[in-house]
Chain A
């Protein structure tokens, strides 16, 4: 049953790509979208069947892929990622129908988008090294083509695409070598064979493979310091593509780390997972800080992706550490937390990117300092963005809360039972989690407050209109999921529990129980999100009612005076006097001056008559990426330097060329005799 669904997924996706590339302009987007839905639904059905029964579905063919053949195995862990991808893809392609006229209706885009979606759907089902790598690279190629949609108009797009392409390729090379190393020692390239031989591998091979895999997959997941492509490519891609990249593609980086570390190698020493946790902590803090200081809406979301993937990595790392020290049950809970965070992130980041895309379509800009007042002009998009922002800030009753609660639980309960290294790492993780939460809240208060509330800061923002219905529906679908997952997370938790059990070696089958409330096996914590929400609603209602009551009863009704937001109660003259995103982030920038290193420039020009009168003040500030400046730029210059040096090798002299040959001949003769 479920392997039929794999075939349908692949077939429908391929036909969608061909249709998108071949059909005339009028029909191609519709055809591609409908066929892509077919592909997604088939994948969804298959994956849900796997999650429901716990039975992997297997598919083999030696007729596809020369020299190796194809092996597909969809297990519960992979199925979780398939479901996430399928849901985000359905929402994004729905959104695409409305968005298509903004550059996404070209042949290339209409062919690449189905290809991108299909390859992402199939990556978690790959059951051999070759199958995995082909799908992985197809995904990279298709997404690169989609990032390039705007290349004619924007130099930034071209540059972002190059960063993306090179980082992805380097990452893929690391993954390729890691997997090939494992398969060479196992003697066969199926994952099943690798798993069987994993424990007989030399330690050096295991360590090399894992470190390379973490580097390769980490760069896909946007883990700092391998994240540099992410804040460039995600904002430059068309918004449905950003949503897919951020909601679905980066998850596959996480999947890859779990696949290699847990599924293939069967877990490893504590230092592996300390490394993963450290990556997670750094990513979470760095991403959150940059999100809080960004003024470009999509760049903010992109950094926030790095932040969220950092949290997931903390979960994965914690799970590995607990498993390495023998606490399988807690390890399993940490894994469930990581998976839940991934699912949640897909839902809210998808809806946020899609609604940010709506804002960009409506106003033509992503610069928060040129937005404002959109809540009134685009109420539905504003509401969707609001739901996403509350979710990402981990406020109950939205879904972000449950995931972070679970992660806190596993970290705190794992603490007393662990070794010294873990005992140091875990509190750091908890502290990072807390600080990240605060910074995320700042970032999204800024996004909502400056972008959607207040008065418009530009004519474009003032002229904004609500976007087409399909776009609202696409974004709204994911926002709805945020609410559902926040209220009744138990609808996904059993499946995630099964997935975690298949990922963490030797974990108990069920670690989570309960229908309305949530019990964790062996732990004290209990959470009933729906009751919590009901309680919250009641409490809020009660407070409002009491206040109204008190006002009526005790105080005379004061004259109600309405004032502009951000106006400190003053009558505001112009929109320019409002608080801006830059000024909002400024205190934070000062506190974290050493990390974000903003470039500031103050240019004061005086009137010519007197130096005491100022004619104009220009204040200019920008925040680059410290890691890009200090790590990547020097490497790039070194490579360029070498490229210039190497040109002397080929200086045009035939004598020199012949001399190379003579020297080679002499050396070889000298060596072999």
Chain B
């Protein structure tokens, strides 16, 4: 892959990841949110793929395929089923309303740019320049876990955090060693499965997937 094409596709895919993160804050419909997540998963896989091709790293290409499969297909499908079964699958009244959330996302993106300056300074490549995007995705994911009331939204937020970190890992280090990478992905996958199981239990117990139900344990 030649220089300009590499740089622009890498920038495009990284940009898509951040935009998808913002979309999850913007859209209230959970099915739209899950779609954005799927797109983000594919974009993340694409980033890994591009880097793998660029660096002739077969392991990274395999990882890219795994990422696309798990984050682009498996997880969104899992979540999509829950959303489909819940008729009221809308984020009706988020804790912070949508415009304010978007302002918050902008502020967090700024912060991400500021905080990652040492990383950018250390890797003076195209990939290095894009690291702040991963950071911003992480912060936005965290933010959406804070402001969204639905169980599914919180799972999506966690996945945003994870995707953001994975983006940083790919861009900054072309992936951590394989053993760790596999372990980490498996763990995240399992965490999502566990959350999904808990959501199912919540559904059967309370009949809603609203996290406001979970306020029994307090001081």
A touches B in complex, CB < 8 A: yes
- A611: interface (CB < 8 Å): no
Q: Are A662 and B146 in contact (CB under 8 A)?
A: yes
Q: Are B215 and A653 in contact (CB under 8 A)?
A: yes
Which of B146, B214, B217 contacts A658 (CB under 8 A)? B146
- Bound-state CA distance A665–B111 (Å) is 11
Q: Are A666 and B145 in contact (CB under 8 A)?
A: no
Q: B105 CB to closest chain A CB, in angstroms? A: 12
Could you say which residues of chain A place their CB within 8 Å of the CB of B118? 673
Q: Are B146 and A655 in contact (CB under 8 A)?
A: yes
- B143: interface (CB < 8 Å): yes
- A1: interface (CB < 8 Å): no
- B62: interface (CB < 8 Å): no
- B205: interface (CB < 8 Å): no
Could you say which residues of chain B place their CB within 8 Å of the CB of A651? 215, 218-219
- The answer to whether residues A666 and B111 also contact, given A658-B142, A659-B146 and a CB cut-off of 8 A, is yes
- A204: interface (CB < 8 Å): no
Which of B95, B142, B215, B219 contacts A662 (CB under 8 A)? B142
- A669: interface (CB < 8 Å): yes
- A650: interface (CB < 8 Å): yes
Could you say which residues of chain A place their CB within 8 Å of the CB of B143? 662
- Bound-state CA distance A673–B211 (Å) is 34
- Bound-state CA distance A650–B216 (Å) is 11
A interface SS class: helix
Q: B75-109 CB contact bits vs A (8 Å, 1 = yes)?
A: 00000000000000000000100000000000010
Q: Are B142 and A652 in contact (CB under 8 A)?
A: no
- Bound-state CA distance A649–B218 (Å) is 9
Could you say which residues of chain B place their CB within 8 Å of the CB of A655? 95, 145-147, 149, 211
Could you say which residues of chain A place their CB within 8 Å of the CB of B115? 669-670, 672-673
Could you say which residues of chain A place their CB within 8 Å of the CB of B149? 655
- How many A residues touch B, CB cutoff 8 Å? 18
- B114: interface (CB < 8 Å): yes
- B117: interface (CB < 8 Å): yes
Which of B111, B215, B217 contacts A669 (CB under 8 A)? B111
Q: Are B217 and A652 in contact (CB under 8 A)?
A: yes
Q: Are A650 and B218 in contact (CB under 8 A)?
A: yes
Q: Are B219 and A647 in contact (CB under 8 A)?
A: yes
- Bound-state CA distance A664–B36 (Å) is 28
Could you say which residues of chain B place their CB within 8 Å of the CB of A647? 218-219
Q: Are B117 and A673 in contact (CB under 8 A)?
A: yes
- A654: interface (CB < 8 Å): yes
Q: Are B146 and A670 in contact (CB under 8 A)?
A: no
- Bound-state CA distance A102–B168 (Å) is 73
Q: A118 CB to closest chain B CB, in angstroms? A: 42
CB closest residue in chain B, given A663: B146
Q: B43 CB to closest chain A CB, in angstroms? A: 24
Could you say which residues of chain B place their CB within 8 Å of the CB of A670? 111, 114-115
- Bound-state CA distance A653–B111 (Å) is 26
- Bound-state CA distance A483–B151 (Å) is 83
Q: A641 CB to closest chain B CB, in angstroms? A: 15
Q: Are A652 and B216 in contact (CB under 8 A)?
A: yes
Q: B141 CB to closest chain A CB, in angstroms? A: 10
- Bound-state CA distance A651–B217 (Å) is 8
Q: Are B215 and A652 in contact (CB under 8 A)?
A: yes
Q: A655 CB to closest chain B CB, in angstroms? A: 5
Q: Are B216 and A661 in contact (CB under 8 A)?
A: no
Can you identify 19 A-B contacts, CB atoms within 8 angstroms? A647-B218, A647-B219, A651-B218, A653-B212, A653-B215, A654-B154, A654-B211, A658-B142, A661-B142, A665-B139, A665-B142, A666-B108, A669-B115, A670-B111, A670-B114, A670-B115, A672-B115, A673-B117, A673-B118
List 14 extra interface pairs beyond A647-B219, A651-B218, A666-B139, CB under 8 A.
Answer: A649-B219, A650-B218, A651-B219, A652-B217, A652-B218, A653-B212, A654-B214, A655-B147, A662-B139, A665-B139, A665-B142, A669-B115, A673-B114, A673-B117
A: residues with CB less than 8 A from B are 647, 649-655, 658-659, 661-662, 665-666, 669-670, 672-673
- Give 5 nearest A-B pairs by CB, closest first: A652-B218, A652-B215, A669-B115, A650-B219, A647-B219
